Amino acid sequence: MSVRILHGGLLTTVQDLGRFGAQKYGVIVSGSMDRTSMRLANLLVGNEEQEGVLEITMFGTKLLFEQDQLVAITGGDLQPTIDGQKAPMWRPILIREGSVLQFKSAVNGCRAYVAFAGGIDVPLVMESKSTYLRAGIGGLSGRALQKGDCLPLGKAASDISLAFIRQLEQTDQLITWSLDYTQLHLFEKTEAIRVMHGSEFNRFKPESQHTFFSTPYKITTQSDRMGYRLEGEPLYLLEKFDLLSEGVTYGTIQVPSSGQPIILMADRQTTGGYPKIGQVISADLPRLSQMQPNAEIHFTEVTLEQAEAALFAIEKIIADIALSIRLKAQI
């Protein structure tokens, strides 16, 4: 079972939930930028939520299917087509042998996810299939997919996968239902992103603290999987001080000497030495990851308790969706 890469697009990599437990050795977590869309794509084809998927960025990726394959496409709308016809998203679809799945350009969001029933058959590196580009490990040979690559796939074996394949083969029609992703994603060009105080928040001038939560910041074109560089009103410390490098995580907002914030993303370094003014809450990281360059962020202050409640609410929605998918497979 395999898919042949006809065009790698801007950046297409194998990603899962990330590589945990190795940061003490200097190995980053990496993983999918939009973990919600990744998890839902896997659920739609009967995989475990943490299974590896393709993360497709912005445009250009083109895949040739060498066997019939049950897949699901989630995340941003990059105008996917199958043999030139619009491909449905947020539902299981059966792509026939010899068909070509192509992604044109982003209508909304900036990352799409493709899950294959049975998963992607690449070796685990430190218990993860995620591609860490700078170290050249994980995924397919530790790099982005390129024209001519053959991506090996696993065999669909779960009850849900087999049930959806039977449904699609019997009717030879598209499944008519799809997930209501608007509960989780709106793909807006301007987003209110919730933030908790960072460990050095009180070392910024009061006027900069106010600016951070009252003025918009634009995502610049110098942004990538490692970090989103922002542009807006500069932020200033009360006084300069020495700060030892310490652990950082996905969504940590650092402020270098330029005063322009940087949000650390999935491929962030393991430690950082810039003052941290804030931390994007986990519930909002998927929405943040789908924002395109030049989009505007408005930071909103929340407490730890509010951040936990928001995450619990999202996990409840995903659990309900997982149950609904199991029930659909039984119809």
> Is 127 a domain residue?
yes
| Rounded-to-10 torsion of CA 176, 58, 311, 183 | -30
Residues 66, 15 share a domain: yes
Mean pLDDT, the chain, rounded, equals 94
pLDDT in tens, 267-282: 998 888 899 999 999 9
Confidence category of residue 125, pLDDT binned at 50, 70, 90: very high
Report yes or no on 330 lying in a domain: no
Backbone phi, then psi, for 100, in 5-degree steps?
-120, 125
H-helix or E-strand spanning residue 321:
helix 304-330
pLDDT digits (tens, 9 = 90+) for 48-72: 999 999 999 999 999 999 999 999 9
* Alpha carbons 15 and 114: distance in angstroms, whole number: 10
Mean pLDDT of 77-102: 96
Query: Is the per-residue pLDDT at 109 higher than 70?
Result: yes
Model confidence band, residue 173 (pLDDT cutoffs 50, 70, 90): low
CATH number of the domain encompassing residue 206: 2.40.100.10
Cβ pair 194, 310 in contact under 8 A: yes
* Number of structural domains in the chain: 2
168 & 215 share domain = no
| 165 and 203 part of one domain | no
Q: Is the pLDDT of residue 37 over 80?
A: yes
What's the pTM value of the predicted model, to 2 decimals?
0.95
pLDDT score for 11: 97
Closest CA to 113 of 126, 99, 101: 101
Q: Is residue 326 part of a domain?
A: no
pLDDT digits (tens, 9 = 90+) for 306-331: 999 999 999 999 999 999 999 999 86
Closest to 290 (Cα-Cα) out of 195, 209, 186: 186
| Residues 31 and 158 both lie in one domain | yes
Is the domain of 10 the same as that of 125? yes
> What is the b/e burial string over 162-196, where b = at least 16 CB atoms within 10 angstroms of the residue's CB?
ebbbebbeeeeeebeeebebeebbebeeebebbbb
Token pair in block for residue 48: 């475990």
Q: In this structure, is residue 331 part of a structural domain?
A: no
Range of the domain at 294: 190-311
Q: Judge whether residue 242 has pLDDT over 80.
A: no
Mean pLDDT of 116-137: 95
Query: What is the tens place of the pLDDT at every residue in 176-208?
Result: 899 999 989 888 889 999 999 999 999 999 999
What's the pLDDT at 331? Answer: 66
Instruction: At 142, list the tokens.
Output: 């530790």
Statement to judge: residues 278 and 210 lie in one domain: yes
